[in-house]
Each structure stands twice: as structure tokens, then as C-alpha cells.
A and B are shown apart, each in its own frame.
Chain A
Amino acid sequence: MDTHPQLTGRSNYFEDFSVGQRMRHFRSATIGEVENNCLTKLVMNTAQAHWNEEALRGSPLGDGRLVFGLITGSLTVGLTSQDTAENALEELGLDEIRFRLPVHPGDTITAFSEVLATEDSPAAPHAGVVRFKHWGRNQHGQVVCELERTVLVKRRSHDHLDAGPPPREGDS
């Protein structure tokens, strides 16, 4: 526990989150071949509308590939992760996942978060449960996905990592 004192941030422990707190996350990401084509196949999603450029040609959904909704969702969560889960012990769950608009390769996702709740965790007194609402927005300002996410986050008061590096031999 005390071998890596400086690996995670200092401003995202359980005590740092408060209900109603809002965050616009600093980095956005464009969905390209790696994010959609590669990851959708990596996770065994056989629906070819995500990776066959011809599959939807002429359909009411429009020409071209559709991004797998959970890739958009995963990228939204990823873009929030440093600010919301860098000091997480465990991802507990998700809820109310909605995909509001189609996303196409080339679209850029920006993530937003709000803290919905903070709770003690009787099973983990060294941590607490934070419930977030996340939104993923495209480059036109439209919300494309939203979800709630529950994370078990370390308490600063109980984190040995926060006590600084272990004393070295010879230190006085």
C-alpha cells in the first residue's frame, strides 16, 4: 500500500465530492476507427451496422456506420474517469443508460458530470459511495448519451497512500 505514494490525484477523494457538484471534463475525444471499428469487434458485437460501411446505405438511419452505443458510453465514462474515479476502489454499477441520438465515426464526444449523491459505505469504512450523472455531448452540442454511475471512492482520511512516501533508510 505504501509503495506508490504519488500515482493518483489529490483532489478526488470521497471527501472532495458534494451533491450538486458539476464538472465539464477537460478532454474531449473523436471517435475513429480504433474506438468504433476496433473496439466494437474486440467486444464481439456482431451487429455489422457498426463496422460495415455498406450495411445501412439507403436506410432511414442514414448512410454510413453507426457507433455502438456502449462505445460512446464507455468513452463518456472514460473521459470522466480521472476526475471521478482516479481514487476509486471499485465501480459498483450503472443505471438509466440512454442513447439519445445516433453517433457516427468522426463525431467528437465531450463529457459532463454531476454528483447526485454521496453515501457512507458500511461495508467499506475506508471509502464512500458516490453516485454520478454523466452526459456525453457531440460537437454540435447535442446530448447523445446519458447514464448514472455508482463508484466506491477512497476516503482521504483512511488512505495510507496519502501519508506520503515511506521513510527511506538513512532519513532522519
Chain B
Amino acid sequence: MSAARQATAGAGQQRFGCGLVSGTDTPLRGREFAVTSSGHPTQAGRPEVTEVDFDSFPVVAKGRRFEDFEQGQVLWHHWGRTITSGDNALFSTATCNWNPLHLNAEYARALGHPDVVVNPMLVLCTVVGLSVEDLSEAGGPFLGMQDVVFHQPLYPGDTLTAGSEVVSAVGSSSRPRDGIVTWRTEARNQHGELVVSYRRTNLVAKRRPD
């Protein structure tokens, strides 16, 4: 495709990667065709095929490396999460935790709760999940967790937000490519009340090996 024709594919049109273009002898992988913003083919009557060098697109990288952590650093994690009764029912049943405290609202009310108690393992998994991009997504095995305390029950409709503090970040003498980082994480509900806290330790890849 000429530069001029590529330019005309700009305004009012969107580009979609597509591997299903037929009738040409060029490889399917790595091509796209242009359609108008309403989703119809261009005026030429058939999709316009061009080569796109996807390998040249910069990755929008996620995660932190060992060098990005220092003792005492505080990280507030993204998104937050409202836990629904559906989340709790799916998680509890899929993990074989059929306890009526988590799945029978009348039973839970009889024990003094306003609704079922959200499975604490779901609370813990969600808080760890919210922290992954900041703490461990860039790679390294999950070594373990200590001192997990469930401070109070969470109920469907409650919203969790989480933050962590770096407790320690030390090199590993046996693994020059990794360091060992320990964080203390806390999660609170929408009223600012502490719901769960714990310490977690991971191997974290270094940007530059020793």
C-alpha cells in the first residue's frame, strides 16, 4: 500500500488486526485491513491490506523489578474490588468450601450476621490479586505468606482496597538474578476498617543480575 493510500485510511476509519483476509497470496499473519468507523469495508469494496510490523510496537510493560523496591516504601494498589454474592458463591463452591456460613444467608443471620460471610480465602485471594501488578507480576516464585489475620468479616457488597509496605528487600546469595522481597499488606473495607493483613515473600527478578 502506498503512503498516500495509508494516509486516506486515517480519518473516520479504525484499524483492526485481522488474520482472516482471503484472496491474496501474502501471509495472513501480521496484516490488517481498514474499515470505516461504522464497521463497513472501505469504498474500494474490499478490505485494504497492509503490512504492519508488530514486532516494532513497544510493550506497555507492567510490574516492578527488585531494584524498584526499598525498605519502608509504601504502595497503594490499583482498582479496589466490590465483592458480590456471586463472587462468593462461585469461589466457595469451586474450592469445595460449602460451609453454610458462606452460602446460606439464613444460617449466617441466625449466627448474628447481616448476610452470608464472604469466604475469607476469597478476601485473601482478592487482596493478593490487587497487589500483584505492584509487587510480583514481573516475575518470581511466590515463596510464602505469614501472619494472615482476618480482622473482621466481609459481607457481599463490601469493597476492598489494599496497600503494602516493603518490609525488606535483600539479595539472594544463591541466585544472582533474583532478590527476596517481603511486604506487609493491609486491606480495608469501604469504611476504612481493617479486614485482612499479612506478610508475603517472593523472589523478585532483578533488572540487572549481580
Interface residues of A (CB under 8 A from B): 1-4, 7-8, 27, 29, 34-35, 38-40, 42-47, 68-71, 73-75, 77-79, 81-82, 85-86, 88-99
Given A8-B100, A43-B122, A74-B121, A95-B147 contact (CB < 8 Å): yes
CB pair A1–B110 under 8 Å, yes or no, is yes
Interface centre among B100, B107, B129 (most CB of A within 10 A): B129
- Leading 7 A-B pairs by shortest Cβ distance: A78-B95, A44-B129, A78-B97, A94-B148, A78-B96, A45-B129, A43-B125
The docked-state distance in angstroms from the alpha carbon of A8 to that of B98 is 11
Q: Which residues of A contact B110 (CB under 8 A)?
A: 1-4
Question: Which B residues are CB-close (under 8 A) to A94?
Answer: 124, 145, 148, 198
The answer on a CB contact under 8 Å between B129 and A81 is no
Supposing A46-B133, A77-B97, A93-B149 touch, asked if A70 and B120 sit within 8 A by C-beta, the answer is: no
| Contact A39 B137, beta carbon cutoff 8 Å | no
Chain A contacts of B126 at CB under 8 A? 43-44
A26 to B: closest C-beta gap in Å: 11
The contact sample of 10 A-B pairs, CB cut-off 8 A, is A3-B110, A7-B107, A39-B94, A45-B128, A46-B137, A89-B101, A91-B120, A95-B148, A97-B145, A99-B144
B76 within 8 A of A: no
The answer to whether A86 touches B99 (Cβ under 8 A) is yes
**Once bound together, how far apart are the Cα atoms of A85 and B120, in whole Å?**
12
Within 134-164 of B, Cβ neighbours of A (below 8 Å) are at 136-137, 141-150, 153
Complex CA–CA separation, A99 to B128 (angstroms): 15
Q: In the complex, are the beta carbons of A75 and B107 less than 8 A apart?
A: no
Rounded to whole Å, the gap between the CB of B122 and the closest CB of chain A is 7
Q: Considering the chains assembled together, what is the distance between the CA atoms of A79 and B96 in angstroms? A: 6
Size of B's binding interface in residues, CB under 8 A: 45
Task: Check: B62 CB closer than 8 A to any chain A CB.
Answer: yes
Partner of B100, one of A1, A7, A73, A96: A7
CB under 8 Å from chain A, chain B span 83-122:
87, 90-92, 94-101, 104, 106-107, 110-111, 120-122
Q: Is B79 an interface residue (CB 8 A)?
A: yes
Q: Given A4-B107, A91-B120, A94-B145, are A46 and B94 also a contact pair (CB < 8 Å)?
A: no
CA gap between A79 and B94 in the complex, in Å: 10
B130 at the interface (CB under 8 A from A): yes
Q: Mark B151-193, 1 if CB is under 8 A from A, else 0.
A: 0010000000000000000000000000000000000000000
